[in-house]
Amino acid sequence: MPDPRPATPEEAADVGGMHAANRAAWDEAAERYEGWFDEAVMLIKAGGSNLFPVEEDLIGDLRGRCRRAIHLQCAGGRDTLSLWNLGAATVVGVDFSPRMLDLARRLTAATGAPATWVEADVLDTPHELDGTADLVYTGRGAILWLQDLDRWAAVLRRLLAPDGRLVIFDGHPAEWLFDGDGEGGWTLTAYDYFAGAEASRGWAPEYIDRLSIEDDEQHLKFARAWTLGEIVTALLGAGLRLERVTEHPVDWWAGHRDVRADERGRVPLSFSVVARRD
């Protein structure tokens, strides 16, 4: 996997351009999710959930109290339909990758779930969904791909029904500063916490890994570790009332399996937010 490089000033100024690149890169990465499809069908049909226990605790039992859950950056729909199995009457998934949504539609066909799939950049989520979500959920591995947090937070706010809840569970930005030292402990990476977007090709071996397209022929993609301060400030600025902001040692993408559990437990690897409309 080639090393990431900082986005150039021209790239960093072009949010639409970075998102277009990410869309192409995620469409390539959907290849990996295609390999997980049969597993996803079995899980959802069996009434199971792909969400982490910490996420289920935050979301709670949705039976009888969630007419519509909207899942932003839903990928192949496995987590979205997990919300259905947790009791949401209907679910909506939004993602910009056509190949991911093709998988989501196949998952719906195989399970009969009451789901609607919307192909859109999350920043342009259609206004017809405004005010309709009893739950807006955004989960593991979403925020790092977004290049305009104020626009994102405004979307979260406008989707919520008057009594709706927002639940976020995602990677903690501090995680970017640490890596396994090969002996079960941590070492500091070269990542600059305040540097902004970085560009890369290829994917981490612990997650998407190698695809049928060679790493250096894949589309460029842009990710960044938004600081917790930037995230919270964007949510507050959009008119959301934060009920809880929690940091967790939960290794949300199994990216640090080589680090001993006791060592892992002393670094914040994920965080969550529960919020409502102000």
Ligand X SMILES: C[S@@+](CC[C@H](N)C(=O)[O-])C[C@H]1O[C@@H](n2cnc3c(N)ncnc32)[C@H](O)[C@@H]1O
User: Where do contacts with ligand X occur on this chain (CB under 6 A)?
Assistant: 19, 22, 26, 73-75, 78-79, 95-97, 100, 121-122, 139-142, 145-146
Nearer to ligand X, 195 or 204 (CB): 204
Nearer to ligand X, 58 or 75 (CB): 75
Least CB distance to ligand X at residue 44 (A) = 12
**What is the distance between the alpha carbons of residues 113 and 104, in angstroms, rounded to a whole number?**
10
**What is the distance between the alpha carbons of residues 182 and 105, in angstroms, rounded to a whole number?**
41
Nearer to ligand X, 72 or 275 (CB): 72
State which amino acid sits at residue 163. Answer: D
Task: Name the residue with the smallest CB distance to ligand X.
Answer: 141
Least CB distance to ligand X at residue 183 (A) = 29
- Tell which residue, 100, 23, 178, has the closest CA to residue 108: 100
Per this entry, what is the length of the chain? 278
Least CB distance to ligand X at residue 274 (A) = 18
Least CB distance to ligand X at residue 185 (A) = 27
Helical ranges in the chain per DSSP H: 9-12, 15-35, 37-45, 53-59, 78-85, 98-111, 149-159, 228-237, 261-264
- Tell which residue, 27, 141, 28, 137, has the closest CA to residue 86: 137
Nearer to ligand X, 15 or 242 (CB): 15
